[in-house]
Every structure is written in structure tokens, then in C-alpha cells.
Amino acid sequence: MAVNSNDVEAIVRQVLASMQGGVAPSAAPRSAAGGQIPATGRVAVLTSLKHFDVKEYPIPEVGDDDILVKVEGCGVCGTDAHEYKNDPFSLIPVALGHEGTGEIVKIGKNVTKDSAGKPIGVGDKIVTCMIFKDDPDITMFDLNKKNVGGADVYGLLQEDASNMNGWFADYILIRGALGSTFFNVSDLDLDSRILIEPCAVLVHAVERAKTTDILRFNSRVVVQGCGPIGLICIAILKTMGIANIVAVDGNEGRLEFAKKLGATGTVNFANYKGIEALTEGVKDAFGGKLADFAFQCTGNPHAHANIYKFIRNGGGLCELGFFINGGDATINPHFDLCSKEITLVGSWVYTLRDYVTTFAFLRSAKSIGLPLSDLITDRFPLEKINEALETNLAMTGLKIAIVNE
């Protein structure tokens, strides 16, 4: 009978333990059976504006608190596109990609559970969340003390010695010493796992909206902007049981998809001249009434200024569209806020708790037949990363993803 090297190692530890009358010595990092991990792996590095180089690096050592993940796929985020086009975070050269997922192929001996306490090991599928800095006000179960947008994420880190710190790669090293957070999501399919990070952004936004005590089952809700963020927002509202959702966008294809995800009405702003006419269009879609609550999902200041007009007196607004400085918006504080007594909340990224909620949302959405996988319209191999980013900028699809074989 053939015996592989992992079996031999286990037998040796047992023999040593019996000879010493104690516990077997600590195991080395657990790794995939058969030792299929190659010596090197590819990483897509943004080396200049609008240009990735796919480089080859040695697979780094896996420490006792680390995890080596074979990347299966990673979504292209609007943040990646901004960095690709303008480098607003001054990170170049940088390995991008933070909407990633993959399979654990090697894991340090100290890593036995994920950030929610779920067992984890070689062969499990994982996603990463935030990298916490030394901040006592940020904890797992009390994250309303302050904004957590200052935390780091893999895929938006400065280059370091490991090189493998972004998900646009063959492998990524998750380092315990950095304060990494990660989750075992082996029960979710690849498309769902690629969508976890953007879905968490919207789960957080809806949780913020709920703090106003205005968003309810029978609320009339308008969602402005039907890119991936707005479309996911509609799906979450639908999954929650909110049945009266109007989508506003200028693209008929995206508006049609909004209906598949739960919108009961749509308004194409390209068909209206001026904010007064557009407001009447929104009212008509709600049967002659304004919205109780609105989600502003574009990064356009003009869109932000418009959305107040769609909301009834005493209504609410969640603004989540500005992930970088998109410029100033002009509103009239008297007419838009004070006289209408609008309750406004902002939303930025997510919390660890939102990630756990997101897993439940994805299962629920699938159970009621929402076609979330159809959000991923374009899939590219790693070597075509530049084409993938250009496709994202062209806005010819919805969610763009890098998917490894």
C-alpha cells in the first residue's frame, strides 16, 4: 500500500509522542495533500496608470498564524477602477483586488477558526474582510462607536516583502500578524462568493437605513443608480420583503434587470427634461406619491442633489454612492432638508457583523430565485486584467470578474 508524505509525518509524530510519554510535537503548517503548491505564482501589479504587469513571485512561507489561499476569482470594484485610472490613494505599484475568494491550500498551526468562530482548514473556501488596526473602539459586536472605513483591506495595501497581498493573483497570503479577518464560506458557490464584498456594502447601507425607523415593509423606496451597487440594493430590499421599489437610471437594460431583482417600477431619467418632470415621473411610478425612503447609489453630485425631490416630508435618505471625492453637491437646506424634515444617513463600507449577515442574504436571495449570478456579466483570466479594467470603465457590462482556471 502506498503511503504519502503526510501519512509518514503523522506516524512519526505519533511514535515520538509514545516514546516521550506526552503529546506529539506541534505540527508544521497543514497543507494540501500531495504537495501540489508550486514554487511561484502570478500577481497582477498595477505599475502605472492604466497598466497592470502580471509578475511571477516565489510563493511565500506560511507562518503559524498565516493562510495561503489559491485564488478562484475576484470581482472588479469601482475602487479598483478609480485606482487603475487615477491612483487616488497613491498606492502604485500595488497588487489590487479585494472582492476575492479561494481555497485554502496551506494554513498555520495556530489557525483553527475563522473570525466568526467557525472551524477552518485546508480545502475550505474563504473570503477576507477588514484588516484591523490597533483601535480599541472597533470590536466584532459593537461597531457603532465609530466609522470603520479607516481599516485596511487586502488588495489596497502598499507593496511588501510577500508581494501576494491582493486577490488579482494566483495565490494570496493572509497574514495573522496584520490583524486579518476572514470567513469560511464553503457552502456558497463561486459567483456568490465573488459578490460577497459588494453585497456587504449594501447590507451595511440597509442596516444604516433601518436606524432611521422609517424603512419598513410597506415603505415606498426609490433606488437611484442601477449599477451593481444599486441593483444589489434592490435585491436586498426585495429579500427583506419590501414590495414597492422604484429604480431610477438612464440605461434601459439596467432598469430591466432591476425588475428581475425586485423593482416594481422603473424611471429612465433620460426621458425627462428637468428635475420637476423627473420628480413627477417618480411620483407616477409610486401611484402619485413620493418615496418614503431613498437610496442614492451613484457617485454623481448632481444625482445627489436631485434625490431629495423624490422623498416625501418626513422621509429618509441613505447616501452611499461616494467612495472617493466625487465633488460637491448643491442642495437647498431649507427646501431639501429642514422644511421636509428629511432624516439623512451616510454609509461607508461595512462591519464584520455585516459580512455574516451578507452570507444569510445570499442564501435567502438564491432561495427565492433572484438571479444574482447574472450580475457577473464578464469574466476574464488573470492575464487579461487590463482588458477587464477597460471593460469596467466602458460600462458595457455590470460586474466584471477575474476568474482563474
Query: Where are the chain's structural domains?
Result: 37-185+371-403, 202-346
- Angle formed by the axes of helices 228-240 and 352-367, nearest 10°: 70
Question: What would the pLDDT profile of 112-121 be if each residue is shown by its tens digit?
Answer: 999 999 999 9
The single residue listed with the C-alpha cell 470578474 is 401
The single residue listed with the C-alpha cell 505519533 is 14
**E-strand spans in 202-290?**
220-224, 244-249, 265-268
Report yes or no: 399 and 195 within 8 Å, Cβ to Cβ. Answer: yes
Q: Does 347 score more than 60 pLDDT?
A: yes
Does 37-185+371-403 match 202-346 in CATH topology? no
Question: What would the pLDDT profile of 34-51 be if each residue is shown by its tens digit?
Answer: 558 999 999 999 999 999
Q: Which one, of 305, 131, 130, lies nearest residue 204 by Cα?
A: 130
Which ranges of 241-274 does DSSP label H, i.e. alpha helix?
252-260
Start-to-end CA span in the chain (Å): 33
Q: Does 325 score more than 80 pLDDT?
A: yes
Report yes or no: 308 and 336 within 8 Å, Cβ to Cβ. Answer: yes
Q: 20 vs 97, which has greater pLDDT?
A: 97
- β-strand partners of 127: 183
Is the domain defined by 37-185+371-403 classed in CATH 3.40.1440.60? no
Question: Which of 3.20.20.120, 3.30.300.30, 3.40.50.720, 3.40.640.10 is the CATH number of 202-346?
Answer: 3.40.50.720
Q: 376 vs 324, which has greater pLDDT?
A: 376
Q: Which one, of 355, 320, 366, 321, lies nearest residue 200 by Cα?
A: 355
Gap between the Cα atoms of 313 and 341, Å rounded: 6
Question: What would the pLDDT profile of 348-374 be if each residue is shown by its tens digit?
Answer: 988 888 999 999 999 999 999 999 999
Q: Does 27 score more than 70 pLDDT?
A: no
Question: What would the pLDDT profile of 230-239 be if each residue is shown by its tens digit?
Answer: 999 999 999 9
pTM, entire model: 0.89
Report yes or no: 223 and 246 within 8 Å, Cβ to Cβ. Answer: yes
Length of the chain (residues): 405
Gap between the Cα atoms of 260 and 222, Å rounded: 16
CA angle 202, 359, 126 (to 5 degrees): 110
Q: Which of 40-54, 136-150, 200-214, 315-329 shows the lowest mean pLDDT across its residues?
A: 136-150
Q: Which of 145-149, 254-258, 398-402 shows the lowest mean pLDDT across its residues?
A: 145-149
